[in-house]
Amino acid sequence: MIIGFTVVVPTLGRPSLARLLHALGGRVEVLVVDDRADRDNPLPVPAWVGVLPGPARGPAAARNAGWRAARHDWVAFLDDDVLPDPDWPERLAEDLAAAPAGVGGVQGDLRVPLPADRRPTDWERTTAGLATGTWITADMAYRRAALASVGGFDERLPRAFREDAELAHRVQEAGWSLRRGTRRATHPVRPEGPWVSLRAQRGNADDALLRRLYGPRWRARLGIPAGRRHRHAVITAAGLAAAGAALAALGTSRPGWRGVAGLAAAGWAAGTAEFAAARIAPGPRDVREMSTMVATSVAIPPLAVAHWLRGWWRWRAARPGPVRSGPAEAVR
């Protein structure tokens, strides 16, 4: 049985897109969603690639535009920095042909190459987590019927962070099953600056939305590993208490505030040191990586808490429900 599918690739125009399209080589129908805010210059893509203007509201909204414009019963999502194996199209066709009617999605096998001559950095380990993640849309195929039954991706999740796990949960709740396939692709570790872990803390606002939608056990329901938010909150509270007590001690001769400030500062230092040590231990332990881990371990707890509170306030009245968005524009 011949299975038809459309490959949907949301992109911001990164150079890696050309390598992905070259690997596919015109053997499959590809729809690139151009999600750049500035589209004055067209994307440099081959003539056999369809291009759809995206809404520029993040990967969830871009993928929604892509699958709604696709013409086949199956939609295979690829990130624009993934490199499919040479036999990826054929293996994908086999994965989909082997899926019974009740299977709503089939995940590909993703590999993340790490350095062979040293331990991986914090950023490299974070990227490597994609290889063991479940229902990662870096390489994930869904039936259009499954996507339509739940309204697609939740566009309130604007980052490439949790939006795929949240969709997979709703698809399974709707009665579909998900499975792993045999096709393989490589996800290289893209170059990043030393402060990438600080930018990543914006995802805490998305976590606040998921906590609102799915309750205190949202991580277990969505299959997401436990995080450090509660520890971050304790460290942040200790730091604020130390600063407040120190300020209070300046205005009084009583020794009590100095004792409170010292105790709170000790708690903040112990929590920060444990966090930094946990990030340094599995890494290369060179001077650059260790100094980056120390600096970012000081900044991450208050930053994570601030983003969580921002998300909590923004989504305090959020309710579960299907995604609604405007119609997709024409493919060129």
Q: How does pLDDT run across 215-235, given as a tens digit for each residue?
A: 999 999 999 999 999 999 999
Give 110's strand partners: 185
Q: Is 327 inside any structural domain? A: no
In a shared domain, residues 180 and 275: no
Full residue range of the structural domain in which residue 306 is found = 193-320
Task: Return the SS3 of 315.
Answer: coil
Q: Is 331 inside any structural domain? A: no
- What pLDDT does 252 receive? 72
Residue 133 sits in a domain whose CATH number is: 3.90.550.10
Q: What is the mean pLDDT of each run of 10 residues along the chain (332 residues)?
A: 86 95 94 94 94 95 97 96 96 96 97 96 96 95 97 95 96 97 97 96 97 95 93 98 91 79 96 98 96 98 98 93 52 51
Q: How does pLDDT run across 175-197, given as a tens digit for each residue?
A: 999 999 999 999 999 999 999 99
In a shared domain, residues 161 and 12: yes
- What pLDDT does 253 receive? 66
| Rounded Cα distance, 152 and 150, in Å | 6
Q: Which of 139, 169, 192 is the last residue of a domain?
A: 192
Segment 250-257 long-range contacts (CB within 8 Å, at least 24 positions apart): none
| Rounded Cα distance, 130 and 138, in Å | 8
- What pLDDT does 192 receive? 94
Give this prediction's pTM. 0.92
- What pLDDT does 329 receive? 47
According to DSSP, the β-strands at 177-186 and 83-84 are antiparallel
- What pLDDT does 328 receive? 47
- What pLDDT does 319 receive? 87
| Rounded Cα distance, 207 and 93, in Å | 35
Pair 283, 125: CB distance under 8 Å: yes
Give me the residue label for tokens 């939305």: 209
In a shared domain, residues 202 and 131: no
Query: How many domains in the chain?
Result: 2
- What pLDDT does 323 receive? 54
- What pLDDT does 232 receive? 98
Q: Which of 139, 165, 192 is the last residue of a domain?
A: 192
282: tokens are 């599995």
317: tokens are 């009245």
In a shared domain, residues 178 and 253: no
Q: Which of 140, 166, 192 is the last residue of a domain?
A: 192
In a shared domain, residues 100 and 175: yes
In a shared domain, residues 90 and 24: yes
For 128-154, b where at least 16 C-beta lie within 10 A, e where not — what string? Answer: bebbebebbbbbbbbbbebbebbbbbb
| Rounded Cα distance, 134 and 222, in Å | 10
Q: What residues have CB less than 8 Å from 122, skipping those under 6 apart?
A: 197, 279, 283, 289, 292, 293
